[in-house]
Amino acid sequence: MSSYMGHRLTGTNLTPPFNKLNKKSFDTYFSSIKAAFWGLETKGFRSIHSPIESAMSSTAGLVIPCKAAVAWEAGKPLVIEQVEVAPPQALEVRIKIKYTSLCHTDLYFWEAKGQTPLFPRIFGHEAAGIVESVGEGVSDLKVGDHVLPVFTGECGECRHCQSEESNMCDLLRINTDRGVMISDGKSRFSIDGVPINHFLGTSTFSEYTVVHRGCLAKLNPLAPLDKVCVLSCGISTGLGATLNVAKPKKGSSVAVFGLGAVGLAAAEGARIAGASRIIGVDLNPSRFEEAKKFGVTEFVNPKEHDRPVQQVIAEMTNGGVDRSVECTGHIDAMIAAFECVHDGWGVAVLVGVPNKEAVFMTKPINLLNERTLKGTFFGNYKPRTDLPSVVEMYMNKKLELDKFITHRLPFSDINKAFELMLKGQGLRCIINMEE
């Protein structure tokens, strides 16, 4: 039996209008009303209570049955199951996921090679959705708000949240091993009363999910959710790693290791910062053609050289690059990314998620020679405070997102997105939760 608070909403006792509006019709209805009312809201009619709120709130406090892609075992295809999603508890929000995409971090933890295995689990952390209901104490988000869930949060009160320099919130910082909500140590997902683990506090491979309020960034309602969903992890991470952490100067040289979506977003950051040389490093030569659209000016495939890639880059740049950003998760690339920066001023930033047992080895003299090694989660952005402005960069056409979106798939084909990433094909694959 489920121990969740709230009533169960099962297939047989669905209450109208949820019953009527379930799945596709629910959203079509919702979107048309929403479109009509955003217009009014932006013209100063915010106080109007739209039918959206009553439609959405009909499920508040109830357990929602819906589809989710469950990973039962490491490396085995996900299975679309009917799960029950409990109502949000204090400071939590239940959201309807509209679009999600796959980031390599999902893949690592699904493969569970060199990571802590935790199954059954609902993966997914790069997504966009709409608030369905809020738990007690949530005052700054309401039903119908558009949101991006983020794998690392911002409580707003701890020393990290108070610091201008850190986004490593004491309460809500990334925790890849936790499969439950922090408030009560329980999962909000279950199948026939058996709990299913969360992933990164987001679990977006589900039509509905419950997220701590501090892990949700409120969005400009005009932002297209099928595009800005990629800002909820990969693109903001890469962009911020360059702009906020590596901080290249105009005219400088930047090496980017790994030309997946995160690395190409790092390259985009280098282009925006005015770097004059952007050197892309990847083992997969098919990445190079794509990378040209992101301002990458030169390419190095470590496999094509008989000496270490850091040496190749040092030779190309008269002693080393000014900045490097590592976006592969492989320890050799991390070490090379550090050792290829110029002495005296070079800064290397690690972004890739390594194997749990990986150890970073370099000679201390490389640091003494005035190189700096840094690392970052989510590009140092505070999700609630900073993410809306990254969305505005897209809305103001300062940041292109379309070029990162190479595939689209219906939710029923989610395993194909895993296959694409395993084969190194494409950048981001947007999964439409309604198909």
Q: Which H or E run contains 65?
A: strand 62-70
Of 126, 132, 290, 339, which residue is the catalytic one?
A: 126
Among positions 62, 245, 414, 421, the unique one binding ligand NAD when judged by CB under 6 A = 421
Report CA Rg, the chain. Answer: 22
143 binds Zn ion (CB under 5 A): no
Instruction: Examine residue 161 and tell whether it contacts Zn ion (CB under 5 A).
Output: yes
Measured CA to CA in angstroms, residue 213 lies from 138, 191, 263 at distances of: 7, 24, 29
- CA 78 – CA 105 distance, rounded (Å): 16
Buried b (16+ CB within 10 A) or exposed e, 331-342: bebbbbbbbbbb
If one asks whether residue 104 binds ligand NAD (CB under 6 A), the answer comes out as yes
Number of DSSP helices (H) and strands (E) in the chain, helices first: 14, 18
Given the residues 59, 84, 161, 188, the one annotated as active site: 161
Q: Which stretch binds Zn ion (CB under 5 A): 115-123, 148-156, 323-331, 388-396?
A: 148-156
What gap in Å lies between CA 113 and CA 115, rounded to an integer?
A: 5
Residue recorded with tokens 């694409």: 420
* Catalytic (active site) residue 46: no
Among 93, 327, 399, 420, binds ligand NAD (CB under 6 A): 327
Residue among 232, 328, 366, 380 that touches ligand NAD (CB under 6 A) = 328
- With CB cut-offs between 5 and 8 Å by kind, which of Zn ion, ligand NAD, none does residue 187 bind? none
Q: Which does 137 bind (CB under 5 to 8 A by kind): ligand NAD, Zn ion, none?
A: none
Q: Check binding of 215 to ligand NAD (CB under 6 A).
A: no
Active site residue 327: no
Q: Does 155 bind Zn ion (CB under 5 A)?
A: yes
Q: Which of ligand NAD, Zn ion, none does residue 169 bind to, with CB < 5 to 8 Å depending on kind?
A: Zn ion
248 binds ligand NAD (CB under 6 A): no
CB of 283 to ligand NAD, least distance (A): 5
Minimum gap (Å) between residue 103 Cβ and ligand NAD? 5
287 forms part of the interface with ligand NAD (CB under 6 A): yes
Give helix 414-422 / helix 104-111 axis angle, nearest 10°. 90
Assigned token pair, 394:
């897209």
Site for ligand NAD in 344-383 (CB under 6 A): 351-353, 376-378
Query: Is the sign of the CA dihedral 350, 241, 227, 150 positive or negative?
Result: positive
Q: Tokens 């997220």 appear where? A: 211
Q: Which of 215, 233, 327, 340 is catalytic?
A: 233
Cα atoms found within 13 Å of the Cα of residue 191, Cβ hemisphere only: 17
CB atoms within 10 A of CB 220: 12
* Residues making contact with ligand NAD (CB under 6 A): 103-105, 108, 233-234, 237, 257-263, 281-284, 287, 302, 327-330, 332-333, 351-353, 376-378, 421, 424
Active site residues: 103-105, 125-126, 155, 158, 161, 169, 173, 233, 428
